[in-house]
Structure 1
Amino acid sequence: MVLVTGGTGLVGAHLLLHLAENDENIVAIYRNEKTLEKPKALFTQFQKESLFSKIHWIKADILDIPSLEVAFQNIEFVYHCAAKISFDPKDETLLRKVNIEGTANIVNFCIDRNVKKLCHVSSIAALGDLKDFEIIVTEAMEWNPEMPHSDYAITKYGAEMEVWRGQQEGLQVIIINPGVIFGSMLWKTSSGEFFTKIKNNFPFYTNGCTGYVGVFDVVKIMSLLMKSDIAGERFSLVSENLSFKEIIFILADKMKARKPSIEIKPWMTAIGWRLDWIISVICRTNRKLSNNTAQTIHSHEIISNDKIKNALNYKFQSIDEVITQIVSKNQ
């Protein structure tokens, strides 16, 4: 029996679809009835409604121990996809609670219930820090606590520490670190904002660079790793490293939208995040641009995918193909 946390999110829902297509016996947790609309809509989009009904849904929360007691009955394998994603400094406490404490709870149950293997979904944000002479980020990079990191990155790194603790206590673990994940436009947050903004003729771009990956590559690799003998490893999942300008222009081409024409310079975002902070304090609104985010969109780090390609002999789908499929599915 397989347990999936975060099954109502982007990765979790696509993972459920992939596992269901492969006749896995699945338990998935959800927090309220309304959140089930998203994965159900995904199954409908791919004409797999009959498979959705085969998933055993249990109302539970990774922060609620009694509900996890029920969810972990007869579980052999766990895919931990649940997490809080936010780059607003106001969410620091919630990020720590969900991402670190929630992961600790999952790890503890896996150990207590003798789960055979745990796959934890982390992020490239939790990878180590480059030294001054380095430009390529690998899984072997060491985390430098003296370097600036977003609260989200810190809590995802903290979650990984809980997973490694589980390994030290005898649990078989795998950690994946996906880049920016592109999937169905059923989700209007996270990477889905790229599509929404381009559709609304967003005029700005930067030349910063990061790694991107399609959600179906992510879930296929998760399943392959769980079925393999590989354990005690982490893998960066990135199909391509592209500049924000390149990715935005690809999106504009596929969506037949106007391409952005105004480059945002570092000095502009330096002013922007400070103004955003002032506005958030005065108006008590959520932050839209933090200092860390402002730096990230100008970063030129390259994320290596050599380790996963060599481990599984895996070939990623190109981002151009991923975006083409997403746009065609949502027209």
Structure 2
Amino acid sequence: MILVTGGTGLVGAHLLFHLLNEEQPIRAIYRNEKKFANVKRIFGYYSKTPEVLFNKIEWVKASLNDIPQLTDAFKDITKVYHCAAFVSFEPNKFELLRKTNIEGTANIVNLSISNKVKKLCYISSVAAIGTPTIETNLITEDTEWNPEFDNSVYAITKYGAELEVWRGTQEGLDAVIVNPGIIIGPGIWDYGSGSLIKLTYKGMKYYPSGSSGYVDVFDVVKVMTQLMQSSIKNKRYILVAENRSFKDFIYKIASLLRVKAPKKEVSKFLLGIGWRLDWLKHKLTGKRRQLSKQTAYSVMSKTQYSNQKIKTDLNYTFKSVDDSLKATSSFFEGDFF
């Protein structure tokens, strides 16, 4: 039986749909029943019987830090897809990020070892890849992590989680790690690329000057399953279909949704004022941070990622970003128009 953590998230739900189509017996971990709506909505995009598919999954309520609950979830498990994570770039959320992403992953690794799981796939992030000394250099799996760099709290904990997976491989666990860029896919519109689509539809005044790597959610899922079915082990792979500027990405969304695109580029000076005011607002009111210093830096950075390793090892061809955005924008229109 296959165990999927984070089954109610964007990648997790698409992974479950893919595995169900392969008629695999699946157990999935969840924390909040309200998130089941995400799974059913995503299943409904691709199937006329989402409820039937949903009910084929053995759902187990468990926390990544509750060992008794996890122990029950691991009964008779042969493969694990660890998709669960806490995503935040708020510096004051570091302890929760560490508890979930690092300690939670350590628990998954330990139980995988003790239950003699055949293979584990961990979904990390390009945030856990190193930063090149020269901005224009392509980032690869071998780009070294720099602990002296002003890394975001999210990046630090995803990197720490990877160390737990590598520690597991030293103790006999076969594992693979994937590091996706910004994942494009429908169903969850309040964070990730979904929130950017939503913001573009509502109207944006400015666009950031940086760039990043993008990948379709089904490419992430397909690579994960192919790696798990292969003899490849103890390797990590950057999953990026294309590198694009944020301006090009936002303009493409605006064109697909037939809305106005932002005309002005936000300056470094304005972003600097923005994250400082956001920090002050948080200190005075206790409201959640919306813009951290590290986030401001990342949207200004022109990062470029190489996907050559996965293309070579799996002979994989990625879906184009334009095709991915076209499909995802169509689902967005179906949900909101």
So what's the TM-score if we normalise by structure 2? 0.96
Following TM superposition, where does structure 1 have runs of at least 4 consecutive aligned residues deviating by more than 4 angstroms? Answer: none
In the superposition, relative to structure 1, how do residues 167 and 193 fare at CA in structure 2: closer, same or farther (>3 Å)?
A: same
CA distance in 2, matches of 1:291, 1:316: 32
| Cα deviation, residue 133, structure 1 | 7.5
Q: Cα deviations across residues 76-96 of structure 1 (Å, max 9, x unaligned)?
A: 000000000001111111000
Cross-structure match for 1:103:
105
Within the alignment, does 1:137 sit opposite 2:135 as a pair?
Answer: no
Shift of 1:227: 0.1
Q: How far apart are 1:34 and its partner, in Å?
A: 1.3
2:300 maps to what in 1?
A: 298
Q: Distance between the aligned counterparts of 2:332 and 2:134, measured in 1? A: 43
Moved more, 35-44 or 69-78: 35-44
**1:57: which partner in 2?**
59
Report what 2:8 is aligned to. 8
Match for 1:36: what amino acid? F
Residues 288 and 215 from structure 1, CA distance in 2 versus in 1: closer, same or farther, beyond 3 angstroms?
same
Contact 2:135 2:302 survives alignment (8 Å)? no
CA distance in 1, matches of 2:42, 2:229: 25
Name the CA distance, whole Å, in 2 between partners of 1:265 and 1:229. 48
Matched, 1:270 2:263: no
Distance in structure 1 (CA, Å) of the matches to 2:234 and 2:286: 44
Structure 2 contact 74–115 (Cα < 8 Å) conserved: yes
Q: 1:164: which partner in 2? A: 166
* SS at structure 2 position matched to 1:211: strand
Residue 137 of structure 2 aligns to which amino acid in structure 1? I
Aligned to 2:38: 38
Match of 1:311 in 2: 313
Contact 1:213 1:319 in 2 (8 A): yes
Per the alignment, residue 28 of structure 1 pairs with 28
Report the CA distance shift for 1:21/1:133 in structure 2 as closer, same or farther (over 3 A): closer
Q: Which residue of 1 aligns with 2:72?
A: 70
Instruction: Quote the Cα distance in structure 2 between the aligned partners of 1:62 and 1:116.
Output: 20
Q: Deviations over 1:272-308 (max 9, x none)?
A: 1111111111111111111101110010121100000
Counterpart AA for 1:155: T
Aligned-residue offset at 1:32: 2.4
CA distance in 2, matches of 1:51, 1:201: 36
Which is further off, 50-59 or 210-219? 50-59
- Consecutive unaligned residues of structure 2, counting only runs of 5 or more, are none
* DSSP-derived class of the 1:297 partner: helix
Q: Does 1:213 align with 2:215?
A: yes
Post-superposition offset of 1:178: 0.2
Report if the CA contact (8 A) 1:238-1:303 is conserved: yes
The answer to whether the Cα contact below 8 Å between 1:21 and 1:51 also exists between their aligned partners in 2 is no
Deviation at 1:134, TM superposition (A): 5.9
Specify the SS of the correspondent of 1:63: coil
Provide the aligned C-alpha RMSD in A.
1.1
Higher mean C-alpha deviation, range 65-74 or range 36-45: 36-45
Q: CA contact under 8 A between 1:148 and 1:292: conserved in structure 2? A: yes
Q: 1:283: which partner in 2? A: 285
The one-letter amino acid paired with 1:112 is S
Tell me the amino acid that sits aligned with residue 230 of structure 1.
Answer: I
Contact 2:109 2:165 in 1 (8 A): yes
CA 1:44 to 1:134, structure 2 compared with 1: closer, same or farther past 3 Å? Answer: closer
Over residues 53-98 of structure 1, what are the superposed CA-to-partner deviations in whole Å (9 max), with x where a residue is unaligned? 2111111111111111110000000000000000111111100000
Amino acid at match of 2:93: D
Q: Secondary structure at the match of 1:302?
A: coil
Q: Percent identity?
A: 49
Letter paired with 1:19: L
- The Cα of 1:201 is off from its aligned counterpart by 1.1
3-state SS in 2 of match to 1:137: coil
Distance in 1, matches of 2:84 and 2:117, equals: 18
* Contact persistence 1:17–1:43 (CA under 8 A): yes
Q: Structure 1 residues 170, 322: closer, same or farther in 2, change over 3 A?
A: same
Aligned-partner residue type, residue 27 of structure 1: R
Task: Name the CA distance, whole Å, in 2 between partners of 1:206 and 1:242.
Answer: 12
Tell me, in whole angstroms, the C-alpha distance in 2 between the residues paired with 1:206 and 1:32.
Answer: 34
- In the TM superposition, residue 44 of structure 1 has moved relative to its aligned partner by 1.9
Question: Quick one: which amino acid aligns to residue 265 of structure 1?
Answer: S
In the TM superposition, 1:183-262 aligns within 5 A as 183-262=185-264
Q: Secondary structure at the match of 2:59?
A: strand
Number of residue pairs matched by the alignment = 331
Write the letter of the residue equivalent to 2:79: F
AA aligned to 1:94 is L
Amino acid of the residue matched to residue 61 of structure 2?
Answer: K
Q: In the alignment, residue 45 of structure 1 is paired with which amino acid?
A: Y
Structure 1 unpaired stretches of 5+: none
Q: Read off the aligned partner of 1:183 and give its amino acid letter.
A: G
TM-score norm. by structure 1 comes to 0.98
